[in-house]
Amino acid sequence: MSLETRLSDCKKDLEELCKQAGRNPQDVRLIAVSKTVGLPEVQEAIACGQFDFGENRTCMFTEKQTAFPEARWHFIGSLQSNKAHEVVGKSFLIHSLDRSSLLHELEKQAAKRNMKQDVLIEVNVSGEATKAGISPKELPAFVEEVLQCGHINCKGLMTMAPQGSLTVARKTFAGLRELSDAMQSRYGKHDNITFDELSMGMSNDYACAISEGATMVRIGRKIFSESFEQ
Ligand SMILES: *Cc1c(COP(=O)(O)O)cnc(C)c1O
């Protein structure tokens, strides 16, 4: 199967899932996670009409963003504070704001460039020790810190579900949506913070994510791997 076929199958599937969930397909953005492939595959995906891409390492992010500035580049991986300057102003959206030290570095870098950086707060909904993210309990205090940062625009929340059980994944995504609703009603009246976006769902669990309200799915293997089987 060609990349073109895998990409169009994926889009059709997303549309079908949106229909089943009573949602408008235009409300779910497909982010093609290109971290395992090189420039030629990205170019091919762009030629097929793909516009949003995700990368999880700063060096690969920079290489691809520089090669294809016409596409929209999302930074989705864990970000070291000393590398924040490599993505600020280059990333359409940083999905992985997961701690105070990074928030303050992003604020500093965005201020230096006299711009506002759009971000999502990554939440560790499942509580797995190995997962990055703000714990649900600490989220309100963290949101209050974000409110103090004039060069950061928070657009919503992101999470990663534990692998292996779709039941657990669904619970995780539902948990993120509930947190988002709670944050929206508590903090929704501020200029630099909204909770419109829910970035959740990957190759093996995006179906549950869409039925639980994802507005962005981050899909890698299903698009770029020849051997991926759901
Ligand atoms: C790799 C990655 C994805 C995509 O995962 P697939 O299983 O390949 O679809 C999504 N989100 C993040 C944060 C990733 O690192």
Query: Mean pLDDT in runs of 10 for the chain (230 residues)?
Result: 95 98 97 98 98 98 98 98 98 98 98 98 93 96 97 98 95 98 93 95 97 98 89
Which residue among 14, 33, 200 has the greatest number of ligand 1 atoms within 8 angstroms of its CB, and so is best to mutate? 33
Place of tokens 């190995």: 130
In angstroms, the first-to-last Cα distance of the chain is 15
**DSSP strands (E only) in 106-151:** 117-122
Looking at residue 39, what is its pLDDT?
A: 98
Q: How far is the CA of 148 from the centre of ligand 1 (A)?
A: 31
218 token code pair = 């981050």
**From CA 22, how far away is CA 42, in angstroms rounded?**
31
- The full 3-state SS of 75-106, as one line of letters, equals ECCCCCHHHHHHCCCCCCEEEEECCHHHHHHH
Inter-residue contact 86 to 114 (CB < 8 Å): no
Helices (H), 136-200: 139-147, 166-187
The C-alpha R_g of the chain, in whole angstroms, comes to 17
Nearest to 133 by CA among 120, 116, 147: 120
Q: How far is the CA of 55 from the centre of ligand 1 (A)?
A: 9
| Residue with CA nearest ligand 1 atom 7 | 203
Question: Amino acid identity, residue 8?
Answer: S
pTM for the full model? 0.97
**From CA 198, how far away is CA 213, in angstroms rounded?**
7
Ligand 1: atom nearest CA of 56 is 15
Which residues on neighbouring strands pair with residue 120, listed in sequence order?
156
Ligand 1: atom nearest CA of 33 is 4
Contacts of 6 (CB under 8 A, 6+ apart): 222, 223, 224
Question: Amino acid identity, residue 86?
Answer: E
| Residue with CA nearest ligand 1 atom 6 | 220
Looking at residue 189, what is its pLDDT?
A: 83
Looking at residue 109, what is its pLDDT?
A: 98
Which residues on neighbouring strands pair with residue 121, listed in sequence order?
97, 157
